[in-house]
Structure 1
Amino acid sequence: MTEKPYALIHASILGVTVFGIWYDYVYVVFPREIAPEGQWKLPWKGRSKFLTMWNLVLQTIYFFIALLNDFIGSNENVPAKVPLIRKVKDYIFSSLAFPAAMYVGVTFWGLMAIDRELVFPKVLDEFFPTWLNHLMHTNIMIFIFLEMFLTYRPYPKRKRGILGMTLFLVTYLIWMHVIYFYSGLWVYPILQVLNWPLRIVFYLVSLVFGIAFYMLGEFSNNKLWSKQISQSKRSGRKKTN
């Protein structure tokens, strides 16, 4: 595939994610009785408390970098010299964009199927459009799987990849507890009904899920691009000889 179709696809996805962020910020307004006073003081109209928004911003950053790579980097499977922006793009996809998109999508719809009041109470439907909900929790999985099929990337060493994903989740957990410390409010209702031992178990299970989604990405990439991975390894051996 030439660079132009890559750029068209990446620009289209970038446009969708940017539009979702803009629409949510400008047009989605929750009444004070739904969004408590303490949470209105948070950045981005209080949206910074949600992992969904962290992920949507992350996906936007990734596809912006992917678009830049289409113009100033390289989409060759095994380029003779890998541009820096291509290295950044590949690492962000592997360690952050793919596992985060899958984590947000799967956990959100999984909890919705169990008891939606624990994650997205029905009262929000009046103020939050269904299409925007799917953009944030469904489309992000479709887009990241499309990218998995679209371009090849060598996965980093597993420790480096999982470390990046873990730091992302831990940073969010710290931010969530900062919010609780100052407001006395939990971001997600499910945390309100759990005691501290069960919350810790919930966090550990969440981390295991994150690692599992990272491994899913690595496995899928290795299956889809097995020929390119072999070619890359042969090329690497030649350079060291």
Structure 2
Amino acid sequence: MTKVELYKSRVFVTIIHLCALGQFAYGLYYSSFEIQRSYKLKTSPNRRLVPESLPQKIKLLSYWSLIIQALYYIVSLVNDFVGTNELTPKKPPAVRRFKDWLMATLAFPVAINVGVTFWTLYAIDRELVFPKVLDPVFPSWLNHVLHTNIVVFIVLELFISYRSYPKRSQGLAGLAIFMGAYLVWIHVVKHYSGVWVYPVLEVLHLPQRILFFAAVVGFTLSLYLLGEFLNNTVWAKEVKLAKRKAN
């Protein structure tokens, strides 16, 4: 079955969106409530390493990414039922416009950023992002929901659902504002707690941290451009065909 046939199968697309939402919603629920009830966590001397309260959790970009993914698939499901998945609708409804903007500006670049950055640092030295002492108390499946499956589903979404990208300047500005706000936020956390959100920042000197932050922001903005390129490449023929039929 080709991507065009999948695109035409509204049932298939809806099932994928339901699977994604169910997984990410449960990941949010489990990380917010169930993990703190774990006997292993309660009796572990390393429980301080696992964020307990909501303010502690929202320090992490992984948690923000999970929220964004859950929101995106909620919007996608609403669009599946009351919006439209046409390639080039003449008057796309508001839910479709918001879905396209959310995917392009936040859902795709933030998910890829979190996945690539986490597993790259994990491969270099896992103690910088996910210390071994967490293995007994932090479920491996939740780790993969946070850092692997977000990438799998958002890449799959790229092939089963076309989106109209906003103006590049507007899309990049929205993403830059989000990333800038997050960097300000982790500095606020550092100021009041005296501890960096990520262990990797503890081992970097000021010039190195500046380069690290610049690299992260630059990398994330480049992912926006990558998403736009892939979207246009994957759906080029179908968009041209749809425009010809419309004319």
Amino acid at match of 2:48: A
Matched, 1:164 2:171: no
- Flag structure 1 segments of 5+ consecutive residues without an equivalent: none
Bigger Cα displacement from structure 2, 138-147 vs 123-132: 123-132
- Of 22, 29, 32 in structure 2, the residue corresponding to residue 25 of structure 1 is 32
Q: Does 1:198 align with 2:208?
A: yes
What is the CA–CA distance in structure 2 between the aligned matches of 1:33 and 1:186, rounded to whole Å? 17
Q: CA deviation at 1:34?
A: 4.8
Show the counterpart of 1:35. 48
- Runs of 4 or more, structure 1, over 4 Å off, are 30-34, 231-236
Q: Which residue of 1 aligns with 2:12?
A: 5
Encode CA deviations 1:5-53: one digit per residue, 9 max, x unaligned: 322221121000001111112222355755279x76xx51621111000
Identity of aligned residues (%): 45
For structure 1, which segment, 141-150 or 160-169, has the greater mean C-alpha deviation from structure 2 after superposition?
160-169
Q: Distance in 1 between matches of 2:177 and 2:87?
A: 29
Cα distance in 1, alignment partners of residues 48 and 181 from structure 2: 23
Aligned length: 234
How far did 1:156 drift? 1.6
Name the amino acid aligned to 2:87.
N
The two structures have a TM-score, normalised by structure 2, of: 0.88
2:78 is the alignment partner of 1:75: no
Distance 2:35 2:170 in 1: 38
CA distance in 1, matches of 2:218, 2:243: 30
- Quickly say closer, same or farther: Cα 1:36–1:219, change in 2 above 3 A: closer
**One-letter amino acid of the counterpart of residue 48, structure 1:** I
Match of 1:93 among 90, 99, 103: 103
